[in-house]
Amino acid sequence: MKLRFNLSALLAFTALSYARKHHHHHHNETESAFEVITLEAVDASIQAQFIPFGATALAVNVLDKDGEYRDILLGYDEPTRYTNDSNYFGPIVGRYANRIRNGTFTIPISKNAEGPNPFEVVKNEHDGVNTLHGGEVGYNERPWTILNRDNHTVTFALFDSDGFQGFPGDVVSAVTYTLEENSVFKMSIRAIASNSTPIMMSGHHLWNLEGYKETQDLDGHIVQFNSSHFIATDGILIPTGELIPVEGTPMDFNEPRSIGEGIPETEGSEVCGTGCIGYDNCWVYDENNSTEPAFSMWSINSGIRMDVTTNQPALQIYSCNGIKGDIPIPRKASQGGPDTFYENFSCLVIEQQSWIDAINNPEFGIDQIYGPDRAYNWEATYAFSIFEDGSG
């Protein structure tokens, strides 16, 4: 079997093999998987924390309109709490983000996996109806290896073996987080596979640009991105293969508007599933040139603005509709916890990604099958700044 790696993947693979061979020099794996790595930009404009487990981001601190740092990423104060986290607070999700209809696909792909030689992957949602974020043990539940790090950047790598969770082919992934001057948070994910396999990854970060200081809702969060269509889904959020125009619906963010105020407008439309209010949807960017911001959001309360530039063609937004659950989650100390809780509709997951479940919807025309001759490359840059009233 001849593997043609691109350089970054080859480096990742080499370093990973080295790390595995020399593992006895390291601490106990579970211990080191929760080692907190703190990064800071050279100009101290942004600071963030990560752990190897799930290649998870724990905190992102940026300056607000008063020049004070705010932690704008939801999470847990205790790093080991990130295990068995059904809310997916801050990790990399993979090998395949979002949902796979019936946990089944074919290669080459076919409509609803009706073609020959189906692959069945572990189903972990709706009592075994479908797969979510890579199965029972997704990339968020794996200890990644630290490849390299300094004060400003860290790279984590993961070896995912052929057949694990039912996916074909070995996959080596490397994710790099970098903090740059002027409050820039860069993320890059690279992967290479030994055989044809679907790959779709993303960072699953839950944001609140107020850091829970002023309010418990998203009314002060203004969102803007250019998208004419979102992907139609059924009652359990499985894509049907159709696109729905956003015009005249609460799904239209072509002009800046409050996403918090949009949440009650979704009532009755069930865009986020049967009986659901809020957003849990994938929008297709009208055009994405990787150089101009594809997505912008700002808080009129904290003055913090986020502009996202990405090479990805689509965007999943989840408005934390069910985050409170039966057992409320204490907020981090940096966000007023632990005697306060993360409320429903108080945060946004913003995932830059490809079209969801394209592997069961050939009509999308999106090729998510990767292998030795085709490496996977995901990029996103989150640039933070101060929103000045009226400047939009």
Token couple for 69: 């740092």
SS3 call for 18: helix
Closest CA to 198 of 129, 99, 286: 99
Closest CA to 143 of 23, 12, 49, 32: 32
- Alpha-carbon distance of 376 to 372, in angstroms, equals 10
> Which residues are 145's β-sheet partners?
157
Q: Which of 97, 355, 364 is nearest to 241 (CA)?
A: 364
From the number of C-beta atoms within 10 Å of its C-beta (0-12, 13-18, 19+), residue 51 rates as buried
State the Cα–Cα distance between residues 194 and 169, nearest whole angstrom. 5
**How many other β-carbons are positioned within 10 Å of the β-carbon of residue 110?**
17
Contact assessment for residue 332 and residue 288, using Cβ atoms and an 8 Å cutoff = no
Give the active site residue among 125, 133, 204, 210: 204
- Secondary structure tally for the chain: helices H, strands E: 3, 27
Q: Half-sphere exposure (CA, 13 Å, Cβ side) for 149?
A: 21
Q: What would the two tokens of residue 380 be?
A: 């996103």
Which of helix, strand or coil describes residue 286? coil
Sign of CA dihedral 80, 161, 112, 110: positive
Tell me, yes or no, if 204 is annotated catalytic: yes
Look up 25 and say whether it is catalytic. no
CA distance 59 to 142: 19
**Catalytic amino acids?**
204, 351
